[in-house]
Structure 1
């Protein structure tokens, strides 16, 4: 399996970076090592089993508190390593609806 066909340049971590993956609904969480990362995705080494986990879409938690995270999608799996693609943030959801003027008060 090759990991070289990314669209953007990647950064390799010699010792890895401790991170977590967590289900979108928050029902599961696993420790991981981030082996490398690019603008568009990352390669992770999962600690423990991934059997039974919904890896179609999940969060990559970059801090132990979960304040820094990226929404991900599984791209490939090879033993205890997975390749993930970062999903774009929904820009429409970020925009707050404009307030409509409600009639004048007398």
Structure 2
């Protein structure tokens, strides 16, 4: 895998950067190491079982108090390594957002 062929510039960590993953509902937490990071995502090495990542959506806690965090979704898993994508506000089309867009389109058509 070529490290420099990505759309977003990635920064590789020279030293272990510990972070935590936490379920969106707060029911689970995993310690991991940040291997590289970009504006849009990161590569991590997870300690412990990866079965909880099947939830697909979780938080990456960047501080021990949880005040600095990113909302994430799972992209891939390979052994203990995982690729995650950062979810930005307004970039995902959930059911409520899709419904609002449909209503807006109908009122414009009147």
- TM over 0.5: same fold? yes
TM value normalised by structure 2:
0.74
Aligned equivalent of 2:30: 30
1:54 shift after superposition: 3.7
1:53 shift after superposition: 4.3
Specify the SS of the correspondent of 2:51. Answer: coil
Residues 41, 34 of structure 1: CA spacing in aligned structure 2 closer, same or farther, 3 A cutoff? same
Say whether the 8 Å CA contact 1:7–1:40 is kept in structure 2: no
Aligned equivalent of 1:46: 46
Q: Which aligned segments of 4 or more residues in structure 1 are displaced greater than 4 angstroms?
A: none
TM value normalised by structure 1:
0.77
Say whether the 8 Å CA contact 2:28–2:52 is kept in structure 1: no
1:14 shift after superposition: 1.5
Count of residue correspondences? 90
Separation in structure 2 between the aligned mates of residue 56 and residue 45 of structure 1, nearest angstrom: 16
Residues 52, 60 of structure 1: CA spacing in aligned structure 2 closer, same or farther, 3 A cutoff? closer
Residues 25, 3 of structure 1: CA spacing in aligned structure 2 closer, same or farther, 3 A cutoff? farther
Aligned equivalent of 2:84: 84
Deviations 1:55-87 (A, max 9, x none): 410000000110000000101111000000000
1:42 shift after superposition: 0.3
| Structure 1 residue runs without a partner (length 5+) | 92-106
| Structure 2 residue runs without a partner (length 5+) | 92-110
Say whether the 8 Å CA contact 1:76–1:83 is kept in structure 2: yes
